[in-house]
Structure 1
């Protein structure tokens, strides 16, 4: 995942860089000053910060061997329980970076136009169970990032499908993404991600 360098925080809670570089200023246009990114081993960070609540957590959890440890998506694990407690209960959102596993023989043909494979759906269902089981509202979906062969898996509390059809949910997400683009003045649009492939899990 790519984030502005200026937003990275040290273990002591201070900025890793004293001033933003020109790239952050041009690409992120002020967003880098409102982000506080803590780079840490996932289990250690979640288990050691039990007094904090987070609006959004980005997880890029592949190890040096390019393996996503099962302990980080086991719905019954201590980590998942702690993650559920740390994620804001009304609107907390988890974004997980996964490798795409879509294959022509492994497509989710129950949802037209979506190329999410079995592994991504399995991980999504595990997070849904671990983070949403006792929540009234919530939505789990994935977006393809084809030029990187990755998938962004999103677990969002506060969003709900409310029995709506996939097209209605997609329209709602697109509308919201335009609002986010406008408010944050992002240098890229979320719409491109939604258009390439969306799977409701």
Structure 2
């Protein structure tokens, strides 16, 4: 009986391990792929964006790293999905850095170009791919809390039957707001980023939708989306708004009420600003109201 019990237990463990391995292969953002961008050799990556920040973040740069996934079959499917208007080159990791050493964000982008115009590069950030573990934890914790506090509202929002308002403080490469917008069809997502250089890096080099950018007057910087936006984002870009503003100023002046707020803001020294977490600061008091 003891031998049979051990055999049964070992069989269950093997099945459980196999299931985990399959999930790893299906998740392009799994940590098993981190070696492609975390400790990548300098010879295998290239700088695709580099500008000086005037908001205390020093040198803001984006590095491109080769990605092993998806394979050729998936790229062919992507070309069909792009209605054969673009030729898919492949996918790359893009990492955002401050002052050369602090890694602020990691995203995966689809790289393509027009068939008749090879120099016209198209970048589409892959919203399903969350490469950094703490980002997955943030989103999981936030959405679990939202679901627990109002399960029906959350369920309806996921299905696009009801709207919810989300606010992201700190933009980085934009993986958190883009994930929320694409996966929750009823989510209207506002993102606040202090540094215009970071915004430029995410749009120019990390495949974040340019149509999301909001001017100081409150209007879209681009009045109409590019025709390709409808193909890439399936209307999600209409629910995504990116504000260039100080977080405290934005919170004190806005009249919006948010269902969920995610704060992920660090400066060039990789320090979380005191004014965004101290309970006696205006920012936290405004959130309480």
Provide the TM-score with structure 2 as the length reference. 0.26
Greater radius of gyration (CA)? 2
Highest RCO, 1 vs 2 (Cα 8 Å, sep ≥ 6): 1
Give the structure with the higher percent strand.
Answer: 2
